[in-house]
Structure formats: structure tokens, C-alpha cells
Structure 1
Amino acid sequence: MFFTIRIYIYAGILVVGSIFNLQKAKKRFHQSNNQVVMEEIFTTPQRVSQKVIQRTGTTVQVNGREKLLDEPVLYVANHQGLFDILAFLGYLGRPIGFIAKKEIKKLPIIRSWMELLYCVFIDRKDRRQSMKAIQQGIENLKAGHSLVIFPEGTRSRGSKIGEFKSGSLRLAMKANVPIVPVAIDGTYHMLEEKGRVQASDITMIISDPIYPIDYQSLKNAELAQRIQHTVEQLLDGCNNKELKKADITK
């Protein structure tokens, strides 16, 4: 438990220490928010996420980076644990935002960084607000800002995937952007498995993009099932020893 407290304190220090960069980022954001500026802004959240994960003793291995596109996409992933978000921020290698729970807006500095990354805050208990948040996400994608969603709706806290809900996939369908399935494995070992922070080995596997022409004839539920099946296959691939030798990031 002492190690867990140390990690939380370390993360807090990094977040507070980012205030100066946050002010610079806000100024740059209001001057211009083109792709170059977004990459500059993303540098701090990326570095902070990497430092926190590294401090836990965890390694992160990413396979399939060559499949990433230089255009806005909707990343669709399974959700094992809290550290999924830091893994994406630290190691995907692209500026991204998230569809996030409204409770995160209570965290001042983190909230400000998330707003700069075009994250969308959603209250799933308020249908009207949820619809408004989804529309905002669609507009963000159309404006060129990639998003990550976890269609299970909550952390699985283990290796088994919950049902992918189809509603959030409307983000891609309405914005007419590619969908990139991503499987992530090992994050639940870091916290959810024992209720305290510990080291793990995380694997992220990026799948081939699914382009609008490939999914526009599908119903939401059919598309959700197809993506879930893809992610499940990717997770099976996490046990492939040859796959684990490729593209390692620590």
C-alpha cells in the first residue's frame, strides 16, 4: 500500500508541475490549434503518462504502429483498468482525446489538459447531456481530432471483455472517419487485480483500420459485434511469442 501512495503522490507532483506548460499550451491553443500545435500540446500529457507508468516498474509493448493513420480516427478499445488511459496517452504515439466521465471535470489541472486535447465529458445518467456530448465528439472528429472510446462502458477489471455497446460508434458513423480497433492487455494487473498499484507488462495491439466504405452498410449493433470480435482476436494474439518480440517500448 505504501508503494501505491508513493505512485499517487508522484503522479500528483507531475500534474501540479505541469501548470507552467499548461499556461503555455493554453496560449498556443488560442493562437492556433492546427496539427503541429496539437502535437506540441500533447507532449506534456504524453510525457507525464510515460513517467507514471515507468515509475510503477511496468513495461509497455505496442504492436501495429505502422497501421496508424495521419487523419482523424475513432480508436475503439477494450477497457481493463484505470491505467488504460495512461497507456494510450503515453504510448500510442498520436494526439488523442477521450470520451470521459463527467466526474473527471472535478480535477482542475487534469480537466484543463483534457479540454485542450478535445476530450468530451459525458453524463451517462442524463440522456440529453449524453446526446449533446456525442454530438460534440462528432464535431471534434470532423474538425480533425482523434478520439478513444471504451464501448464496454466500464472497466472489466480482468482479461474478459464485456459486451461492446453500439451507441458510441455513432461518433465514427456520423463523422465519417475510420475506426481503429485496439486491444490492450495487462493494465488490470496494475491496480484492479489486488486493489493496489503494482508492476505489470502491458501489451497494446493496433488493428487494421475499418474505413467508412467498409462499415456504412452495417447497423450499429453489427459493427459493435465486428469490432468486439476483432479485439478478442487481438487479445488472443497477446500470447503469441513472435508478436511480443516486435516494436517494444519501455
Structure 2
Amino acid sequence: MLRLIIFFLYMGGYLVYSLPALNRMRKLNAVLPVEERDRIIHNVPQKWSRTIMKISGSQVKVKGQELIPGGPVVIVCNHEGDFDIPVLLASIDKPFGFISKVEVKKAPIISSWMEVMNCVFVDRSNRSKAINSLKDAAVLLRQGHSLLIFPEGTRSKGGQVAPFKVGGFRLAQDAGVPIVPISIKGTADVFEKNGRLIKPAKIEIQVCKPVNSKIVQNMDAKFLAQEVREIICSSLTGKKIAS
């Protein structure tokens, strides 16, 4: 219970404290190269996320980060729990925005930071709006930004990885960018499996070999989704992935 109280106190306090930084990020010179601008913006949520993980008392191990290519990518990750985003923000050096459900847009300050980070809000209850949001996401990728997707569409809470929805894979195809599969294991042990209390856990992040943009564009989207899911599932079970 104490960790949960500290978590909410820190989260609320830091968000208010970050408002001046948020205003500075909004005014960043648009002439800056995309990669440099994204890295400056990424610095604040990364610091916040690293402190959040320290509060949780969790140990995080990351492998394969050197495999992430330069330039824009679509990061594809399985979705265990609510701590996936802070763990990935804290651990992955490459700046990224992410695809989020539109309901998060109601959260004050957090949603503003997400907009600055080039996150995309998708209304899953409205197909036409969802399609338009994915088109906006493709534009961001073409501009040089990277995005992260959780193609299961919901948390597994440490259970079996659900089938992947194909929308995010079509996004990568439209933008002509590589896909970076990442497996994450242990985040559900921090929160979801503890009666929604925060407890320390051992978390493992494995960056898998990217799928290059040519393969992404030439492969059927449904088959591509299945192949990337298999890569992630194999990583989670410790099976070697054929190169």
C-alpha cells in the first residue's frame, strides 16, 4: 500500500512540476532535426518513468537494444499490464510516441505530454475515426518519428499473448518503415497480480531482430501480424528464433 501511495503522490506532483517543461517542449524550434527534437522531448517522460520504476522496487533487464535501427520504426510489443509504458519509456533509449485509446485524452497534463510526444489517440468505437487516426500516425512516421503499438488491444495480465490486430501493421506498411518486435515479461507482477497494489517484480525486455521495411511492405498484413506475434512469443518462451 505504501508504494501505491508514494506512486500517486509522485505522479501527481511531478505532472504539476513538469508544466513549465511541457510549455518549453511545445515551443521547441521546428527547424530542429526530428531525431534531436524527439530526444529532447523524450528526456522528461524518461526521467519520470525511471523514478516510477524505482518506486516500484522492480528490477528491469533489457537485451538487444543495439538491434534498433536509426530512423523511424514501428515498435510492436505484447501488452502485459499498466506498467508496460513506464517500463519501456524508462528502458528504451530511442524516443517514441505510442498508439493509445482515445479515452486517455481526458487525463489532464498526461494527455498534453502525449500530444507533444506525438502519441496518437484512436477511437476504437468509431471505425472511420480510427482509420483517420492511423492515417495521421503514418504521416508522423513519414516525418521521421517512431511509434509503439500494442496490437493485442488489451492487457494479457501475464496470460497468453492474444492474436494481433492488423491495423498497426498496415500502418508500418503505409509508412514504409521497419518493425521492431519487443517482448516484455513481468510487468503484470508489479500491479495486476497484486490486487492492484504495487510490488517489486523482475521484468525482462527483449528487443528482437527488426523486420526490414522491404519485407514489411511486401508481406500480407495478416501474415505479417502472425509472424511478428510468433517472434515475440518465441522470445517470451526462450525459444531461439530462426534468422
Could you say which TM-score interval applies, normalised by the shorter chain? over 0.9
Partner residue of 1:233?
A: 234
Partner residue of 1:146?
A: 146
Tell me the secondary structure at the aligned position of residue 60 of structure 2: strand
Partner residue of 1:172?
A: 172
Q: Partners in 2 of 1:99 and 1:116 — Cα distance?
A: 13
Partner residue of 2:160?
A: 160
**Could you give the per-residue CA deviations for residues 121-140 of structure 1, whole angstroms, max 9, x where no partner exists?**
01100111101100011000
Q: Partners in 2 of 1:77 and 1:141 — Cα distance?
A: 17
1:98 aligns with 2:114: no
Q: Is the Cα–Cα contact under 8 Å of residues 184 and 203 in structure 2 kept in the other structure?
A: yes
**Could you give the per-residue CA deviations for residues 20-40 of structure 1, whole angstroms, max 9, x where no partner exists?**
111111111556463212211
Deviation of 1:4 after TM superposition, in Å, equals 1.4
**Could you give the per-residue CA deviations for residues 46-104 of structure 1, whole angstroms, max 9, x where no partner exists?**
00011011111011111001101111000001000011011111111111000001111
Q: Partners in 2 of 1:98 and 1:117 — Cα distance?
A: 8
Q: Match of 1:9, as an amino acid?
A: L
Deviation of 1:41 after TM superposition, in Å, equals 1.2
**Structural mapping, 1:29-48, within 5 Å:** 30=30, 32=32, 34-48=34-48
Partner residue of 1:8?
A: 8
Q: Match of 1:199, as an amino acid?
A: P
Partner residue of 2:221?
A: 220
Q: Partners in 2 of 1:139 and 1:27 — Cα distance?
A: 21
Q: Partners in 1 of 2:156 and 2:197 — Cα distance?
A: 16
**Could you give the per-residue CA deviations for residues 223-248 of structure 1, whole angstroms, max 9, x where no partner exists?**
1110010000111129xxxxxxxxxx
Q: Is the Cα–Cα contact under 8 Å of residues 141 and 147 in structure 1 kept in the other structure?
A: yes
Partner residue of 1:73?
A: 73
Tell me the secondary structure at the aligned position of residue 151 of structure 1: coil
Gapped regions of structure 2 (runs ≥ 5): none
Q: What is the total number of aligned residue pairs between the two structures?
A: 238
1:51 aligns with 2:51: yes
TM-score, normalization by structure 1: 0.91
Q: Partners in 1 of 2:103 and 2:235 — Cα distance?
A: 31
Tell me the secondary structure at the aligned position of residue 234 of structure 1: helix
Partner residue of 2:113?
A: 113
1:204 aligns with 2:205: yes
Instruction: Give RMSD over aligned pairs.
Output: 1.5
Q: Match of 2:135, as an amino acid?
A: Q
Q: Is the Cα–Cα contact under 8 Å of residues 29 and 116 in structure 1 kept in the other structure?
A: no
Q: Is the Cα–Cα contact under 8 Å of residues 159 and 185 in structure 1 kept in the other structure?
A: no
Q: Partners in 2 of 1:88 and 1:74 — Cα distance?
A: 14
Tell me the secondary structure at the aligned position of residue 180 of structure 2: strand
Q: Partners in 2 of 1:8 and 1:33 — Cα distance?
A: 35
Partner residue of 2:184?
A: 184
Question: How has the CA–CA distance of structure 1 residues 126 and 13 changed in structure 2, closer, same or farther, with 3 Å as cutoff?
Answer: same
Question: How has the CA–CA distance of structure 1 residues 25 and 216 changed in structure 2, closer, same or farther, with 3 Å as cutoff?
Answer: closer
Deviation of 1:146 after TM superposition, in Å, equals 0.3
